[in-house]
Structure 1
Amino acid sequence: MGRGKLGTTYKAMLETGSTVVVKRLKDMNGLSKKEFFQQMQLLGRLSHPNLVEIISFYYSQDEKLVVYEYLPNGSLFDLLHGNRGPGRVPLQWEDRLRMAKGIAKGLAYLHQACSSHRLPHANLKSSNILLAPDYTPKLTDHGFDPLLPSRRAFDKLAASKAPENAKSKRLTNKTDVWCFGIVLLELISGRVPGQFTLGNEISSEDDLPEWVRSVVNEDWSTDILDLEILNAKNGHGEMLKLTQIALDCTVSALEKRPKMAEVVKRIEEIQEGKEGEGEAQDQAQSRSRGGQGSQQ
């Protein structure tokens, strides 16, 4: 199915007829059986609607496998950036906001359930957010940081791109929060982090929040919005609020980033405001129709 930073994934069919995904891990041959079993058993006990389920795992000295549930709709990266040509079905703003909340809830659960880990996820990015049949977002590739044998192996992960990794090397769950902020900006802007042009230069992941911050600081501008959601004018206020959450998550100072529980609450408030506006519009239209009827 693909090669990632932590290993290669394969689609497999069991004798029962069910389909699963098998991840063949790399860079972990120095692990003891006890270390691997303890971490896999911890991850296997996790249960949340926004986490990909770990079904089983296998250990030998030369081979480590993890078996996951199979999700047929690919990744958020594929949905956002794949087939941008004619015939593409746009990802609407309402769906992006719903996905943002689901991703936030999954990460908040990880931070609570794996509170002893410095980086409960460590590799959060749009290609590691898979989509269920109803397009519920589910996080995968989480929980491997304690098993990585070297700094070199860690530097392959999304968390290594956070500014604190280059400066102080002091990594906490707020580094996951930074990664979440990058995913939010990707949802809002439609840009691939590290693969868009700034002037004549190719950007890095850290340039995406800095570019958005510079545009928003000058004056809120629709220049940062993905063209697919630009026409959702009633949603521009919500987009600004979600952008502010993303910028709060990606500030350089670790201690100034919000906790994921707070992020979930703020996104839910955006959704509740949207639903409230819809109800108010329905009531206004109903009153208008009633008034017209009484005049006839």
Structure 2
Amino acid sequence: MACNNHTNHPLPLLSIFFFLFLFIFVLPSFIVATPESDAVQLLKLKQSFGNNDALQNWIEGTIPCPKNAFGPYGTSWVGVLCFNGTVWGLQLEDMELEGEVDVDILAGLPGLRTFSCMRNRLEGPIPMLARVHALKSVYLSDNKFYGEIPEETFQEMKWLKKVHLARNAFEGRIPASLTSLPRLLVLRLEENQFEGEIPEIKHDDVRVVNVSYNQLEGHIPSLLGDMDVSSFLGNYDLCGKPLNVTCKPTSTSKNLSTAVLVALIVVAIVVALAIILLLITLLRRQSGSSEKIPPTSQNKVAAYDGDQLERGSQDSSGSSQKKSGKDHNQGKLIFLIEDRQRFELQDLLRSSAEVLGSGSFGSSYKAVLLNGPSLVVKRFREMNGVGREDFHEHMRRLGRLKHPNLLPIVAYYYRKDEKLLVTDFVSNGSLVQLLHGNRSPDRPTLDWPKRLNIVKGVARCLSYLYNELPILTLPHGHLKSSNVLLNESFEPILMDYALAPVMNKDHARQLMVAYKSPECVQHVNQVNRKSDVWSLGILILEIMTGKFPANYLAQGKGGMDMDLVGWVNSIARAEWTDEVFDSQMEGPKNGEMWKLLKIGLHCCEVDVDKRWEMKVALEKIEELREQEANPSVASEEEMHSSKDEFSFS
């Protein structure tokens, strides 16, 4: 019996293991989110963001996901997606949120399956998303995330299908844990700074992989060979399908036997010695009688492209063509519009060229390609504000812009000491030519409807730049009448936009229009997001008065010189006369014209805090009409009413 007391009983041990199993694996599955717990986590998330005004309806005491809510419907919490009374997704896009993503807060939302914070100002290293292991889709594109992505970031995320990390500042190698996700369908990594080779894709269900415009190299994985070629552009050392670049065969020298390797070395040495002896013999024969070798033309490479372009096609043959063999390999045109006819830099150099003018940024030339379109090539010598990679990234950003009133950049050429931008030729010239050029009888006139249409087109395009380039202080930076082209229908086309980030800083401060704004003069080149609005206001006054802002000074009532804004203010306030309008703007004046003049003055407000936002300026401009609703009755009364509404700086 005593021996029976020491018999091993497995039941207590099995019970312990059973309860441990329940505690670790089973019980967590029964822990579900409640509307109250979700609300607590979301309010924590709101507080973790800087500039969280867009989340102002996330209010304590309310429930984010009532029982009847589904997706974005049935909830008052903006950006929250609901399912079965819990937070299923967060769609926090275009909200100007700042700071970092607190992944611990996201992990406290057990029902979370999709998370998007695209097009904000979030920064820092990538969140450790593996802690939210049930996510199915992650959208972090168009922010300021940076650094290398640790290998463990995506480990154990077996449900993850869509990953968008484009247009950030990630660097280093693409982690294999990302490309080996078992359910991966979409992977967007374009426009970062990833380097090295693309890891192998583990399964063939992947639909989209975009790694364009990084610093990747090597062979493209075979499973990606059928994808669109645009998904791999901008990686100069990638090869294989779908790119039309053949991969170089790998070296087999390591497999050679030692004897063969030694033999090759010996042969190479013997050949080298023979060549050296031959050269010594030839030099001795020529010594004393031969003339000095003239200097090579390599020291002229730096000026070759632009100078030949300026001379035109006359130098495309003969001696110049002989020396161009090396020169044209110094760089190549990089196209930003995929569906355009391709041409080489040499095609531009051989084309018939016409000098269009020389502005503050550089010289412009019209180049007519053989059996091709007419183009404008602009040379920039003061465009060294950023390094090579940052310049390429900024050009790609501009290449994505599309607006009917924006002149697209067709292609560009990069060299350290000189840049070329290639655009389409617009035949009707610039606004400055029509406003201030020779007033010949055959020159088109700008009546009120045309001027109003030009202002509306410029304002719409400038507003578009503000929306599409939120990280730039100066979305345009150089808005003036000479940078507003007009097409055959007198629609305005803006050029030379968003170049401030790549210009030499001193050059930009001296010459760019935005740096002439009052805040720059008063606070030593301190531009802000309203500086372009000031440029728009000056342009409006120029269009309405016909006065050239750069050199116009008028004698005021007190005998003191004043600028265009001061002149408009004084004339409108003192005399209420139509003298303020351009005499070439034919037809009767109406209240809408005075309203536009008022808008221009609001945009030129010296006090930046009082100056209108771009959004407000556009709304006011869009309200303007060519004529009053009932001009025969209201013209006189409304015109004086519009004058009386002026508020002066």
Per the shorter chain, which TM-score range? 0.7 to 0.9
Could you say what secondary structure the match of 1:255 adopts?
coil
Could you say what secondary structure the match of 1:80 adopts?
helix
Counterpart in 2 of 1:199? 555
User: By how many angstroms is 1:15 displaced?
Assistant: 4.0
In structure 1, stretches of 5+ residues that fail to align are 282-296
Counterpart in 1 of 2:468? 113
User: By how many angstroms is 1:144 displaced?
Assistant: 0.8
Query: Is the 2:514–2:535 Cα contact (8 Å) retained in structure 1?
Result: yes
Which AA in structure 2 matches 1:92? D
Which AA in structure 1 matches 2:598? Q
Is 1:90 the counterpart of 2:445 in the alignment?
yes
Could you say what secondary structure the match of 2:416 adopts?
coil
Cα distance in 1 between the residues matched to 2:498 and 2:401: 11
Map Cα deviations across residues 228-284 of structure 1 (whole Å, 9 max, x no partner).
22x522x4211110000000000101122212222222122112x737447999xxx
Query: Is the 1:47–1:53 Cα contact (8 Å) retained in structure 2?
Result: yes
User: By how many angstroms is 1:154 displaced?
Assistant: 2.5
Could you say what secondary structure the match of 1:194 adopts?
coil
Which AA in structure 2 matches 1:274? Q
Query: Is the 1:148–1:154 Cα contact (8 Å) retained in structure 2?
Result: no
Is 1:221 the counterpart of 2:577 in the alignment?
yes
Is 1:75 the counterpart of 2:430 in the alignment?
yes
Cα distance in 2 between the residues matched to 1:75 and 1:95: 14
Query: Is the 2:361–2:382 Cα contact (8 Å) retained in structure 1?
Result: yes
Which AA in structure 2 matches 1:264? L
Counterpart in 2 of 1:268? 622
Is 1:150 the counterpart of 2:537 in the alignment?
no
Cα distance in 1 between the residues matched to 2:621 and 2:632: 19
Counterpart in 2 of 1:244? 598
Counterpart in 1 of 2:133? none
Q: Which has the higher helix share?
A: 1
Counterpart in 1 of 2:366? 11
Which is worse superposed, 15-24 or 136-145? Answer: 15-24
Tell me the C-alpha RMSD between the 2 structures: 2.4
Map Cα deviations across residues 12-63 of structure 1 (whole Å, 9 max, x no partner).
1234411111111121246421121011111111000111111111112222
Cα distance in 2 between the residues matched to 1:9 and 1:211: 34
Which is worse superposed, 91-100 or 187-196? Answer: 187-196
Could you say what secondary structure the match of 2:405 adopts?
coil
Which is worse superposed, 194-203 or 126-135? Answer: 194-203
Shift in CA distance, 31/185, structure 1 to aligned 2, threshold 3 Å: same
Counterpart in 1 of 2:533? 177
Which AA in structure 1 matches 2:627? K
Cα distance in 2 between the residues matched to 1:78 and 1:95: 15
Cα distance in 2 between the residues matched to 1:15 and 1:202: 56
**Percent of residue pairs bearing the same amino acid type:** 38
Aligned partner of 2:496 among 98, 121, 141: 141
The structure with more radius of gyration: 2
Shift in CA distance, 101/61, structure 1 to aligned 2, threshold 3 Å: same
TM-score (norm 2): 0.41
User: By how many angstroms is 1:87 displaced?
Assistant: 4.6
Query: Is the 1:51–1:138 Cα contact (8 Å) retained in structure 2?
Result: yes
User: By how many angstroms is 1:159 displaced?
Assistant: 1.1
Cα distance in 2 between the residues matched to 1:114 and 1:36: 16
Shift in CA distance, 149/195, structure 1 to aligned 2, threshold 3 Å: closer
Count of paired positions: 276
Could you say what secondary structure the match of 1:57 adopts?
strand
Map Cα deviations across residues 178-223 of structure 1 (whole Å, 9 max, x no partner).
111111001110111132342299967xx10111112222242212
